Structures are given as C-alpha cells and as structure tokens.
Chain A
Amino acid sequence: MSITFDLIPWHALTGGFVIGIAVTLLLFFDGRIAGISGIVGGLYRVKKGDISWRVAFIFGLVVSALIWKLFFDMPPIQIETSHVMLALAGLLVGYGTRLGSGCTSGHGVCGLSRRSPRSIAATVVFMLTGFAAVYLLRHVLTV
C-alpha cells in the first residue's frame, strides 16, 4: 500500500484541490466561471459593473506569488524558450484562447467539471496540438 501511496504526487493533487476550491468560491459567491482567459479578455470590452471583480481576480493571481514567498520557498521556474518563441507563443495563446472561448482553466478545469461537450472537445484539441508542438520542437526540428 505504501508503494502505491508513494507514486501519487501529493503536492500536485493538493494543488489541484486548492485550484478547485478557488473555482468553487468564485462560482458559489460571484456566480462566475473561473476561466482566466475569459476573465482577462472581458476587460477588452468595458461594461459597467463588470470590471472590478475581473481586476480583483487578476490582481489576486499576481500577488499569490508574493504571498507564497512569505511562507514557503518558490519552486524552481525554468524557462528555456527564446524570447522570440515566447512572444510567438504568447500571441497564439492570447488570440487562440479568446477565439476558442477558454483555456486550461475555463475549458480544462471548469468545463470538464461540468462535463461540457464543448469544453471536452476544446481540451482534447489543445492537449493534442500541445503534444504535437512539443514533439515537433523537441524531436523533429530540435531547436
């Protein structure tokens, strides 16, 4: 039994639960889906009374790193992608998540939680193209 338990990455599972709690909080109190690309994207079309909660959520995400550092060491952050490729990736992620109405949080976490066929399709597509992109970059083009 202990062998099985050791195979579970508890930090990952716990982190997932914590993300789920954040989703629950925003849903139960604010009646909103915690889809990050949607929350950010909504700020591009200003609607009265629809700004402050978005800004507050985004601010919370940004300061979470500072709060974490008060209590724990930050885990290693390794980025080996060049700035040109990071910029290209950012453009694709920004444009793609808006066109596709969601990202890993909106479709991946919230959408799968409510078994939405659209979100299941979206998640399958971005996972498969993610696999394909990494495969091409790491094993075919080797840049």
Chain B
Amino acid sequence: MVSFIALIAGIIFGLGIIASGMVNPALVLAFLDVAGDWDATLLWVMGGAVTVGTIAFMLAKKRKQSYLGLPMKIPGVAKIDSRLLSGSLLFGIGWGIAGICPGPALVLMGTGNSDALVFLVAMLLGMGIYQMTQDRG
C-alpha cells in the first residue's frame, strides 16, 4: 500500500509538472532569464504548489504517524551550512544551463525525448559521484 500511494503520488506529481508547462525546459529558462523576455509562469506553479503544501504541512505537523501508520519523516530544524549552500549553488548553475531539474528530467524520460535523456544519465552519474565521494551517513 505504501508503494501504491507512492506510485499514485508520482503520477499526480508528473501530471502537475506537465499541466503547468514546466516539463518544457524552454519555459523554465524563460523564467530564469530575468534580463531577457522574462516569463513568470514558474512562480505561479510554485505559488499553487506551496499554497496546497502549506495547508498539508500544517495538518501533518500535528500527526505522529501517517495514515498508514508510518513515522512522519519531516526534517527537523538544522543549521544552514556550507554543504547546503554550495550544493544549491552547483544545482542552480546546472538548472540555469539546461532548464531541467530532477522532477521534469524523469517526466521527460517518459516522453521519449533523447536530449533530456542525456541530462538524466548525467544527473544520475552526478548523484553517484556524490555518493562515492561525499556521503557521510
């Protein structure tokens, strides 16, 4: 049941990415191009998602367990450290080059787009390099 919910959540998440237009890297780059013909679409997508998410996390905070009896794995309060900032910095550079982040990369795989597949393979490799060199857990 846990995996079934995860499957449905993945499908819904992907449909949201497609419906919002964010599956198209050109639209993401148009948002990031503040000095060009700026397109605010991504902000509306984030706004919509965060509006629903805010209510969800407010309700979830009061719970000790999920509906399926699992622990609520909500991250606690941790410090803003150099790993967080340098990782986000590198991610932002990559995001700015391609206009693709991990979610749309996986959705794009389902569209059969071969350019996006180059990005996805490199992304998985990048995660592997992190795992081999940096992982401390």
Contacts and interface: CB of A to CB of B under 8 A. Distances in A.
Interface residues of B, number: 114
Contacts of A60: 6-14
Given A41-B127, A91-B126, A85 B98 contact: yes
A77 B113 CA distance: 8
Interface string A28-59: 11111110110011001100000011111111
Contact of B16 (A19, A56, A76): A19
Contacts, number: 487
Contacts of A45: 131, 135, 137
A26 B91 contact: no
A42 to B, nearest CB: 10
Contacts of B56: 20, 23-24, 27-28, 113
Contacts of B135: 44-45, 98
Contacts of A133: 32, 92-97
B132 to A, nearest CB: 9
A33 B125 CA distance: 23
Question: What are the nearest 9 A-B pairs in CB distance?
Answer: A16-B48, A60-B10, A100-B87, A94-B126, A15-B20, A64-B14, A20-B52, A133-B96, A90-B122
Interface of B: 1-26, 29, 32-36, 40-42, 44-57, 59-61, 65-68, 70-75, 77-80, 83-103, 105-111, 113, 115-116, 118-131, 134-135, 137
18 contacts: A16-B50, A18-B16, A26-B6, A28-B59, A57-B10, A63-B110, A86-B100, A87-B118, A89-B100, A90-B94, A91-B126, A92-B90, A94-B123, A103-B91, A103-B101, A114-B57, A134-B32, A134-B36
